[in-house]
Structure 1
Amino acid sequence: MQETKDIIPKLEMEKAKNALDEAKILFDSEKYYGAANRSYYAAFHAMSALLIYDGYSMKKHSGVISKFRELYIKTGIFETEVSEMIAALFKIRTECDYDTFYVVAKADVEEQIKNAELILELIEKRLEVIN
């Protein structure tokens, strides 16, 4: 059981880092819709890593976000700004993926990537502290 608790969060963090790298590559290639998608998934996998470490496994994106807010935002472990970043990441990713008429701005995607990077750093530090 301890092995699973240690390995799966590490694998999720690797997915998060890979998604962030992909977001940066796509951004540099002016593929802003893809970059927005990958920046959201970077944060999503990082949130999942922390939740899994703490014994939670959510099947839906909304479940991951909701449980993350409950356990880490409302308790003060992370600032409320992190919750706002997550909401923006989710909103823009959803609009990029599903709204045919949505036009994403380069500056918005650049901010998405910075926010995803910050979320990864915060979660990585949290995992180091509790290990």
Structure 2
Amino acid sequence: MTAEYARTEWDRALEAFQAAQLLVAHGGFDSAASRAYYAAFHGATALFALEGRTFTKHSALETAVHRDLVKTGRWSVDLGRDYSFCLDVRGVGDYGSDVRVDANQATDAIEAARRILHAVHDALPSEFPAVPGT
């Protein structure tokens, strides 16, 4: 993967993060949780892309986050939990049937995504510009 691909993924992460913030402010909690997850997803994807790694399944990326970032000490255990939380709450928001994401869960997902984006930025600030408004 190229640096250009990684930057495109980073831009998608920032766009998803901003969308999550707007959605939660207007009561769109399911959609806000989904966008928060995709902010984390695209952020982690950008980081791995610079290592020449891509993933075709959400579960494969989650596994890589825990195995290659958390277990190696590049990310804290808390960041690994944040990633998994975002993935779980996205599942509720997108596929929850009669279960809905509430305001607290959506806000927590946005904060988890924010921490993940900061970790990606902090790892390679020259490649990934700061998260606006944070």
Q: Which residue of 2 aligns with 1:45?
A: 42
Asked if the contact 1:51/1:68 (under 8 Å) is kept, the reply is: no
AA paired with 1:78?
A: W
Asked if the contact 1:13/1:45 (under 8 Å) is kept, the reply is: yes
Equivalent residue of 1:128, what SS?
coil
Which is helix-richer, 1 or 2?
1
User: 1:47 Cα deviation (Å)?
Assistant: 0.5
Which ranges of structure 2 fall in alignment gaps of 5 or more residues?
A: 129-134
Write the deviation string for residues 64-119 of structure 1: whole angstroms up to 9, x where unpaired. Answer: 11112211110001100011111111111001111211122201111110110110
Q: Which residue of 2 aligns with 1:117?
A: 114
AA paired with 2:80?
A: S
Which ranges of structure 1 fall in alignment gaps of 5 or more residues?
A: none
Quote the Cα distance in structure 2 between the aligned partners of 1:73 and 1:128.
Answer: 19
RMSD: 1.6
Runs of 4+ deviating beyond 4 Å = none
Q: Which residue of 1 aligns with 2:69?
A: 72
AA paired with 2:33?
A: A
- The number of residues matched between the two structures is 128
Quote the Cα distance in structure 1 between the aligned partners of 2:89 and 2:58.
Answer: 14
Give 2:10's match in structure 1, choosing from 8, 13, 23: 13
Quote the Cα distance in structure 2 between the aligned partners of 1:22 and 1:107.
Answer: 17
